[in-house]
Amino acid sequence: MQENMDFPSAPKALETRDWTYTMRRSMQEIMPGLFLGPYSAASKSKFDVLLQFGITHIVCVRQEGESVFIRPNFPDNFKYLILDVADCVTENIIQHFPKVRDFIDECLSNGGKALVHGNAGISRSAALVLSYIMEKYGLNYETAFAYVQQRRFCINPNEGFKQQLKEYEPIYRAQRTLQNGQSSKEKGRHKRRFDEVDEYSELSEAMDQCS
């Protein structure tokens, strides 16, 4: 049974159009102020579009080899969070969830709007947005996936990311329980869950490097 932690209700579905293949090349608003899309949505030719939508913050997801063509194009105009993440099943993406949460929260609390993009806006960036939606509204992976997919139909995190997202639910709930000030016994139980974030970091170091 889920604990009552007074999560806010997820916004009602935004007005959506029938999905077409070409829409994957543009960004979509997942919740008020948070957009998900491909790198092409933040390319040099899209500066005016970003301004039109009120974007102020951009999460740029890439691995080292992609930095040649996936880059922060407007460092003087938008605040960037650049993450080194490979799209492979052994990649430790869960370690980035808290920093993405804090970056988006800071953006929204100051009246800004954020775009999260990788290369295609399907796996890595989608996983980061899913983690934010899960934690923001107290959702499990399946419910968050359905929510985000209503707005960007092409999302498809790889199997490793899916597993980490599923395991993130008890972790963010543990953190919230600690912040809300529970009994010592409950704190110990949930603290063990929250330490799983660090365990993922240790596991990733033992894995072979992703190609």
pLDDT tens string 22-44: 888 999 999 999 999 999 999 99
CATH of the domain at 74: 3.90.190.10
pLDDT digit string (tens) for 77-92? 999 999 999 999 999 9
Q: Is residue 198, in this structure, part of any structural domain at all?
A: yes
| pLDDT band at residue 205 under the 50/70/90 scheme | very low
DSSP 186-208: HHHHHHHHHTHHHHHHHHHHHSP
Is pLDDT at 111 greater than 70 in this prediction? yes
pLDDT digit string (tens) for 153-164? 999 999 999 999
Q: Is residue 13, in this structure, part of any structural domain at all?
A: no
Q: Is residue 8, in this structure, part of any structural domain at all?
A: no
CA distances from 50 to 40, 42, 108 (A): 11, 7, 16
Query: Where in the sequence is the domain holding 173, given as residue range(s)?
Result: 27-206
Q: Is residue 1, in this structure, part of any structural domain at all?
A: no
> Quick one: residue 107, left, alpha or beta (phi over 0 = left, psi -120 to 50 = alpha)?
alpha
Domain count, the chain: 1
Residue 98: predicted pLDDT: 96
Specify the pTM. 0.81
End-to-end CA distance of the chain: give it in Å, rounded: 41
Q: Is residue 183, in this structure, part of any structural domain at all?
A: yes
Q: Is residue 180, in this structure, part of any structural domain at all?
A: yes
Is pLDDT at 6 greater than 70 in this prediction? yes
Residues 6+ apart with CB under 8 A from 202: none
